[in-house]
A and B are shown apart, each in its own frame.
Chain A
Amino acid sequence: MDAMAEIRATFFEECAEQLADLEAGLLAIENGEADSDTVNAVFRAVHSIKGGAGAFSLDDLVHFAHVFETTLDEMRSGRLDSSEKVLKIMLRSADALADLVTVARDGGSADAERNAGLIDELKGLVALAKGEEPPAPKAAGASAPSDGPVYDDGMGDLDFTPVAVDLGDLMGIGGDNRFRIVFKPSPRMYAKANEANRVLRDVYTLGEAKVACNISEVPLLPAIDPEGAYLTFTIELSTAESEEKVREVFEFVEFDCDLTIEAVHDAPDGEIDADDPDIADILARIRATPDDEPLETPAKDEEEPKDAPEMREPEEPKATAAAPAARTPAPAPAAPAAAAKADAGGDGKGGAGGGAAQTIRVDLERVDRLIDLVGELVIHQVMLSQRAYQAGLARASDVAVGFDELEQLTREIQDSVMAIRAQPVKSVFQRLPRLVREVADISGKQVRLITEGEWTEVDKTVIERLADPLTHMIRNAIDHGLEKPADRLAAGKAEEGVVRVAAMHRSGRIVIEISDDGAGINRKRVKEIAIKKGLIPAEANLSDEEIDNLIFLPGFSTAEKISSLSGRGVGMDVVKRSIQALGGRVSIASKPGRGSTFTMSLPLTLAVLDGMIVSVGDQTVVVPLTAIIETLQPKASEVKSFGGDARLVQVRDTFMPLVDVARELGYSYELANATGGVAILVEAENGARSALLVDAIQGQRQVVIKSLEANYGRVPGIAAATILGDGRVALILDVDAVVATSRVEGNFFNSGMQHAAE
């Protein structure tokens, strides 16, 4: 059972990838960036989901995917234009498919009415492509055969049209029905990677069946067309199911075979030669083959012509054409070439359209272990060479050259290992278009989403936890940030609002900006609400920045009426908390009438950091190099006292706060003498500059970030720890936090923020 659960988990993991590919592909088509590979990739994604779903008997999913796939096939074959209207339906279908996958995984129920409606629309497109009249949309409930098609595992190009079944007649029959089915597959059916064997097996699941195979048409070996079809099956079926059910079995192959199904009301005649040893053999094998295992048995005798057409038709030379077969457990020995290509297609799930990279799935723990070990290796390598030099090793000696090479090698190993965990944020960004579509629909606003920097790499754990706060902030940007189309027009803006999501590396962290071109924060109202809710005193005199930051306070919500989107009682304070739990920060910048920008900055955990090693008191501290602008030695004339203990330092024409690091970290309680130390100019995430006062600069080095959280917990003002060449632990300064806390003291507003953050 466990093994099954694992396979299931893998299936859903793959589904997620396929859905991402699907959406990315559709969007590419929508933007006109598509080529034939894109369409194929989209098709393949849906097809793979269908195939997998079939194996788990997820009938609703299979059914929907099948209809969707059929429509996509029309597009693939060029019969259906990729017009805007078509793509809208496709995108919505992709969303519905994603929902069905979620339902299949987590339980719950899908929006059956919407799905049925979409199925109708998709079928309409197919009909349109074929130049037929689109069928009149049926009542939602009736149009979707609730049971869906029976087991299908990777059937390819199908022209699917709904089967008209007269339910009224069938309802009356019930009980023990007998049918005589004559099933003569055509070569086309095999060419589409369907297999008679499977269909027959499905018939067996319906009841008691006797199958007779007419092999009289099989020509002698020299005359055999390897891609031909020569067998006719006659099935005597005794079942409790209705004719409709029986037909469903043949649903996918109906147009690629000669099929007659007739109800037999008297006892079956003795036509079926079940005693025929060959038939018995086939039947035994059909029964013995487990559902999702490929038929390993090489084709023999009368099966040969049946299997041979599995090889793809010569007029489909592209590798992409093999993809539909990829998930099909094709009889490998019979078609080695096809199987090889199919494998290549199967691996293509990682990338939409071509460029199929080979990937493996590895347990994350193994990677982490490897990263830890390599980190150790680097530390020991550094320690070893330092000790060797201390012991008098000549810099020019062969050993020293060896050390240099070893160092390069270890660095390279480290880089490669780190790269294993790093993933582009694309996987999160891919989910955004759908979110934006949905939120835009509900809120009645027109929104264009622009994403930038989707290849920015960040650690996998960060990616996983990025999705929730990001989702919330985008919702917020659309619901609260953007104005209604009419208001936008009145303000002289384009009707369509723009939400921009950009990722980039900055200060050794990943920064994600979510900006909208809406109305900006209504500071007057924000302040009123904060006063009304008792979050700030009525007479508080706040800067614009401080007012903007009020929205992060717990208990603050600007929504006067709760909307179904943002007003779920989850405020920005929750977003802020979840980002902080990741060791990140969030800030806001807003311009009235021009929009707001939320910036969240998150650590690239496990990354290596370029740091400046400084002395603070008798401690060694690492300052991330990326935060540093310049260093200087302040002169006594440049340091000004500014009320109480606060000091400013003059750098050229500007004054900036001088932060005594030793004091902030609690290493010393007295103000350090500014002129004796070094001032490090840093820029915080919000662009504000400060000077950090330290005692001395020791040097610059790449350090491995070690988690303090793993064995201890978060330490204010400290981003992480590292181990220096001498084997001692040094702390890595969280520049922004140190600068921020230094400004806090005595300020009711910031201490309130501090309190809220804790």
Chain B
Amino acid sequence: MTTVSPPQNDNRNDPRSARELIAFCIGEQEFCVDIMSVREIRGWTTATPLPHAPSYVNGVINLRGAVLPIVDLAARLGFPRTVPTARSVIIVVRVEQQLFGLLVDAVSDILTITDDLLQPTPDLASDLAKTFVRGVMAIEGRMISLIATDNVLPPFQAAA
């Protein structure tokens, strides 16, 4: 269990300046999220399923007293559901005031990139995937997709 503390100097205002991303694997594919939205990374614990929840919501876990929903990112992107194992990883992200966990297979890397490395999402991707993939980048021969975390949670009419 690793806790990632966000970098002290946030110099993202400069488009040319580097930003840091956390890369992770879902199956054979690599994705990444902005490190600034990541609160911590922790191991898998059994989630309590929620009734009437979409299939990509695994349920909720106890994060030091807070009830944390877990989203199976693979299922959210339209891939087959992840079968959580003891080695699975939960990336805890914050979007506005809400905290939730992304279930992924493993965290692979911390990348430092500049925005000009980011290419638009290719047309091949499914509509669902395109909703969440902000762009792709090639790093050392690997293709890594940048995930926008904003709309990962299911939409609620009564804004929670």
A-side interface residues toward B, CB under 8 Å? 372, 375-376, 379, 580-581, 619-620, 664-667, 706-718, 721, 723, 727-731, 758
- From DSSP, what is the main secondary structure of chain B's interface residues? loop
Residues of A within 8 A of B47 (CB): 729
Residues of B within 8 A of A758 (CB): 157
Count of chain B residues with a beta carbon within 8 Å of a chain A beta carbon: 29
Residues of A within 8 A of B59 (CB): 729
Residues of B within 8 A of A708 (CB): 50, 60, 67
In the complex, the answer to whether B52 meets A712 with C-beta atoms within 8 Å is: no
Shortest CB-to-CB span from A703 to chain B, Å, is 12
Q: A372-B65, A713-B160 are in contact. Are A664 and B48 (CB under 8 A)?
A: no
Residues of A within 8 A of B61 (CB): 728-729
Among candidates B45, B48, B158, residue contacting A713 with C-beta atoms closer than 8 Å: B158
Additional pairs, 7, CB under 8 Å, beyond known A376-B65, A717-B51, A723-B65: A665-B51, A713-B156, A716-B52, A717-B52, A718-B50, A728-B46, A729-B48
Residues of chain B from 18 to 76 with CB closer than 8 A to chain A in the complex: 45-53, 59-62, 64-69
In the complex, the answer to whether A712 meets B160 with C-beta atoms within 8 Å is: yes
Shortest CB-to-CB span from A169 to chain B, Å, is 64
A709 and B154 CA atoms in complex are apart in Å by 12
Shortest CB-to-CB span from A751 to chain B, Å, is 15
Is B98 an interface residue when CB atoms closer than 8 A count as contact?
yes
Residues of A within 8 A of B111 (CB): none
Residues of chain B from 113 to 160 with CB closer than 8 A to chain A in the complex: 153-154, 156-158, 160
Shortest CB-to-CB span from B48 to chain A, Å, is 4
Shortest CB-to-CB span from A378 to chain B, Å, is 10
A563 and B51 CA atoms in complex are apart in Å by 43
Q: A712-B67, A712-B100 are in contact. Are A667 and B49 (CB under 8 A)?
A: yes
A-B contact pairs, 15 of them (CB 8 A): A372-B65, A665-B52, A667-B51, A707-B67, A709-B160, A710-B66, A710-B160, A711-B98, A712-B160, A713-B153, A715-B50, A715-B53, A723-B65, A729-B67, A731-B48
Among candidates A581, A665, A721, residue contacting B158 with C-beta atoms closer than 8 Å: A581
In the complex, the answer to whether B158 meets A730 with C-beta atoms within 8 Å is: no
Chain B CB within 10 A, most for which of A372, A620, A711: A711
A664 and B52 CA atoms in complex are apart in Å by 9
Nearest 9 pairs between A and B by C-beta?
A: A713-B156, A665-B51, A376-B65, A709-B160, A712-B69, A729-B48, A713-B160, A721-B67, A666-B51
Residues of B within 8 A of A666 (CB): 51-52
- Tally of contacts, chain A with chain B, CB under 8 A: 89
Is B107 an interface residue when CB atoms closer than 8 A count as contact?
no
In the complex, the answer to whether A706 meets B158 with C-beta atoms within 8 Å is: no
Q: A376-B65, A721-B67 are in contact. Are A729 and B60 (CB under 8 A)?
A: yes
Is B106 an interface residue when CB atoms closer than 8 A count as contact?
no
In the complex, the answer to whether A731 meets B50 with C-beta atoms within 8 Å is: yes
A661: nearest chain-B partner, CB-CB: B51
Residues of A within 8 A of B98 (CB): 710-712
Residues of B within 8 A of A716 (CB): 51-52
Residues of B within 8 A of A710 (CB): 66-67, 97-98, 160
Residues of B within 8 A of A706 (CB): 65-67
A718 and B59 CA atoms in complex are apart in Å by 13
A710 and B51 CA atoms in complex are apart in Å by 17
Residues of A within 8 A of B153 (CB): 712-713
A581 and B45 CA atoms in complex are apart in Å by 31
Shortest CB-to-CB span from A732 to chain B, Å, is 11
B158: nearest chain-A partner, CB-CB: A581
A581 and B160 CA atoms in complex are apart in Å by 9
Q: A581-B158, A758-B157 are in contact. Are A712 and B50 (CB under 8 A)?
A: yes
B71: nearest chain-A partner, CB-CB: A712
Residues of A within 8 A of B52 (CB): 665-666, 715-717
Residues of A within 8 A of B100 (CB): 711-712
Q: A707-B67, A721-B60, A729-B60 are in contact. Are A714 and B156 (CB under 8 A)?
A: yes
A37 and B62 CA atoms in complex are apart in Å by 53
Chain A CB within 10 A, most for which of B51, B61, B99: B51
Q: A723-B62, A729-B61 are in contact. Are A711 and B53 (CB under 8 A)?
A: no
A434 and B68 CA atoms in complex are apart in Å by 44
A665: nearest chain-B partner, CB-CB: B51
A726: nearest chain-B partner, CB-CB: B62
A662: nearest chain-B partner, CB-CB: B51
Residues of B within 8 A of A372 (CB): 65
A716 and B157 CA atoms in complex are apart in Å by 13
